[in-house]
Structures are given as C-alpha cells and as structure tokens.
Amino acid sequence: MKHFQSILILPVLFLCSEMHAQDNDTIMKKIHEEYSYERSLKSSINSNPANVLGSRKYDITVFNIFTQNSDTPNEIQQKGKGKNIWGAEARTHQILDPKTTVWGNASYSQGKNKQVVWNENADYDIIYPYVAADSVGGDMKFENYAFSGGYSRKFNSFTIGITGSYRASLSYRDLDPRPKNTSANFLLALGAHKMMFGKFKIGAYVEAEKYTQKHYLSFVSNQGFPMIYNMSGLGNSNELLSGKLRQAYYEGWSYGTGLQIFEAENRSWYLTAGIKKLNLDKLLTEYTDLNASRIDEEQFNFSLGKFFETGRISWGISANGNHINRKGTENLFLNDNSRNYIQIGSAQRYNHQITDILLKGFLELEHKKAKSSLLPFFGWLQEKENYNNPVSFIDLNKLVYGADYQWIKTFTDKLALSVCMGLTVTDVYKKNAAFSISNKPGIQQMLQENYSYQSSDFWQAKLDVNFHFSLPVIKNAFAGGKMMYSDFKNGNNMFFAATIGGIF
C-alpha cells in the first residue's frame, strides 16, 4: 500500500505512448460523451455488467489528481464537520472489438474528517446505529484504496459480463481517544442479457458483497478517559456493554439481483428493478466474539426512462425510486461476572425506513461547436426512524426540486470548455420527533442538534468547470474546479474541489 502512488503512474506511461496516434476530433467526441447528462441518466442499466457492452461509443481512459475541502457545520455529528482530501485515480473503458468490452479503476486518497463526535468507527452509513461513541471525538485521519475491473462479451444473441471491486480503508486518530479502524469491501457481480426480436434486450444479474471492519480504541493519558457508549440508535445505548469494551469486529454479507429491459440500439427507453439484502453482525472480540447486535436491511430500487431525438434536439424523461428498510436487533445478556456474558434473548428495537422518488426531465440542444443541456427535477422523500424501548422517533417528509444546466464548447480540436451549474431546493413540509434520553445532557444535545439539521429547509447552488487543452507532454490535459454552497437558516456549508489530469 505504501507504493500505491507509484502504481497509479503506470497508466500515464501507457497513455503517453499512444496519445500521438489519437485523432483530436475523436478526443472531443469522447469529452462530450464523458460529460453527457443523457449517458448519466441511463447509468442504472449498467448495474448489470453485461450491459456495459454498448454503453459507450468510444474508448476512454482518464487519469487525474484531485483535492477536496469541505466545511459542513450543518451535518449530523457522527459524520463530522467537513473533510480535507487529496488523491489520484485512473480509470479506463476499452472496446476491444464490437463484441468485447473491458473496464477498470484504481484510486488512492487520504485526508481527515474534521470534528467527528459520538462515533469512533469508520463507514458510519454501513454499520449505524451500532457504533462506539463518546463526547470528545476529534479529527479522524484516513486512507482509502480501491480497485475494480470488469469484462463483457457477446455470444450470438447472448451477452455475459462479470465485474469485481475491492476497497480497503484505514482510519485513526493520534490523540485520545485513539481509534484504529480497518475496513474492507469485496464485491462480485455476474450478469447476462439476450436480444429479443432484434429490437430490445432483457437482462438479469446477481451480486454478492463481503464487508468487514476491525475496531480498536485506546487511551494514553493516565488522567482518566470519557465514557465509551455502545450505541444502539437515537441516542440509546447498551448500558451493560458500555464503558468497558474497546474492541469490536463487524462482519456482513449482502446479496442482490436485478432485471433490466431496454431498447437495443440507442437505449432510447429502459426499465430496471433491483433488490438487495444486507446482514451485518457486531462481534465483541474481547469476549470470545460475543455477538452484540445484528443489522438486517432490505433495499428496493427501480428506474425508467424514455428519450427522443429530432435533428439537433434531444429530450426525454426519467424516474428513479428507492426504498430502504433497516432493522436493528440487540442481543440480551446475563452478566455472571466481568468476563462472562450469557445470551438470554434478543429484541428488535431499531428501525429506519427511507423512501424517495425523483423525476427528471432532459433537454439538449446541439450547435456547430457547442452543446447545452437542461435537467429539471422534482422529488419526494420520506424518512422514519424509530427506537421502541424506550420510545424515540424521527418522522420527516421532504420535497426536493431544482435544475442543472450544462454548456460544452469546442473552440478548436485541442481546446474545449465544460461548464455545469445547478440549483436545488429542499423543503421539509412535515416533521416530528421525540427523544427519551433525559438523564444524559450530552446525548440529548447531540440528538437535538442532529434533528435541527435533518429537519431544516435549505437551498444549494453548485458550479463545476472543466477546461481541456494541450500540453507538450500530455496532448489532452484538463484542469477543473467545483464549488458547492448550501444555505441553511443557521449557517452554510461550503465545498471546493480541484483536479488536473489527462483524458484519452
């Protein structure tokens, strides 16, 4: 892992050997395809790796170095108040012949997550609510590594595909409390589709993913340390296990499957649906892998779209929907002595449901050397989070609406500019909550501050600019920057990003 930065330089050496053979007009077509809103709207089809064949018209390889900085005072405390990140990425999509496509990705990033409180673990969105927590927290440093690759091949009227990915992460803090978390994901997916009547394709895929996280918490100071809570949802914690345990192991499997049907030639219409199930256990390694809790989650999703083309005008409409139902079960124990816990039962006490639907319109106008695209959208989101003993809950309903606009201009065969801007409004039209934690002021304050953020109306503006040009060494270089501003009643969030690289 220490030499990962050197590995990412290899694609550049390969690219530099081929870039002089590239036709600049083709490069500009690749750039237009890379930024295409229409291609992005249809991306849900590619959850089936067999469908990657035919998803692009051109080969493309991108290498870039990036940095990101965000300040997010409006955020739940378990996710921190912003991040500083830098990293590098190389990705490629190669059409070897009309029947074969391969693709891959490698990336490295490192940085810190600022002012993380009430969460000493990594991957909060995967393992919540069962995290180790305290009121002190602090900045959390991290390193992430990721690799992925895939292959799709056509055999007569059938096409098969396979893809795999691996991600590893290390997060830690140098000051008390000192967590050290190592996590890993490995995913494998297999899929196929068949041409039907020469007009449309029907496909299906299956996938499996393994997740693990090792957590260890230590203190150096001899002056005492804060209470460590074994959280179980909405501020509640396991009183028997809190204050003592500093090691845990999270292990989980997820399985999924999906179906797709889409127009064969240009994917001018499509319909997809998928389901995924996650089971994840929290084991206490200090107590002979005592199983403390379990997460069972089901995810359902669908997407559909229809697109039209008339001369230089393209337009269409799409819809996406998702439903997540996460259940948390706590195992109950009898404590014979300080090192012996006997399980006497279990209770499902936590439930979190999220449902969202998003409708998008699409309009694209192509001129001689420019293309402009408009993407208006409107969505609805419902979120219900409950803990049943003692009773606590959050109930939110939101409307999300706005529009994104993109303008791509080709000045010469070596010079191009892409500008994207957007405005999003989030309106919380129904909100209700109740919390039962009254004897722990710190936890009560955390819950109230989190709820204040979750139930806030806000608007968000963004600007994304990418400039493509030629250099003596890299003929197809680009530099870009992105800014995002989110305005809340009690403040604002800011995000900045910059990247440089090459596209071939």
Which residue, among 45, 42, 91, has the nearest Cα to 64 in the 3D structure? 91
How far from 127 is each of 215, 231, 281, 303, 326, CA to CA, in Å? 12, 11, 9, 27, 11
Yes or no: say if 20 and 475 are a contact pair by the CB < 8 Å rule. Answer: yes
* Confidence (pLDDT) at 418: 96
Could you read off the pLDDT tens digit of each residue along the chain, which spans 504 residues?
Answer: 444 444 344 444 344 434 443 455 678 889 999 999 999 999 999 999 999 999 999 999 999 999 999 999 999 999 999 999 999 999 999 999 999 999 999 999 999 999 999 999 999 999 999 999 999 999 999 999 999 999 999 999 999 999 999 999 999 999 999 999 999 999 999 999 999 999 999 999 999 999 999 999 998 877 767 889 999 999 999 888 877 678 999 999 999 999 999 999 999 999 999 999 999 999 998 888 789 999 999 999 999 999 999 989 999 999 999 999 999 999 998 876 666 788 889 999 999 999 999 999 999 999 888 999 999 999 999 999 999 989 999 999 999 999 999 999 999 888 999 999 999 999 999 999 999 877 788 999 999 999 999 999 999 999 999 999 988 878 899 999 999 999 999 899 999 999 999 998
Beta bridge partners of 6: none
* Confidence (pLDDT) at 26: 79
- Single pTM value for the model: 0.92
* Confidence (pLDDT) at 25: 61
State the Cα–Cα distance between residues 248 and 496, nearest whole angstrom.
Answer: 35
Q: Is 150 exposed, middle or buried (0-12, 13-18, 19+ CB in 10 A)?
A: buried
* Confidence (pLDDT) at 343: 84
Q: What's the 3-state SS for 397-429?
A: EEEEEEEEEEEEEEEECCEEEEEEEEEEEEEEE
* Confidence (pLDDT) at 18: 43
Q: Is the dihedral of CA 352, 211, 343, 121 positive or negative?
A: negative
- Three-class SS state of 72: coil
Helix (H) or strand (E) holding 105: strand 100-116
Domain boundaries in the chain? 4-503
CA atoms within 13 A on the CB side of 153: 3
* Confidence (pLDDT) at 456: 97
Which residue, among 365, 500, 411, has the nearest Cα to 24 in the 3D structure? 411
Q: Give long-range contacts, CB 8 A cutoff, 24+ apart: 447-452.
A: 447/234, 447/235, 449/77, 450/76, 450/77, 450/78, 451/394, 452/490
* Confidence (pLDDT) at 261: 98
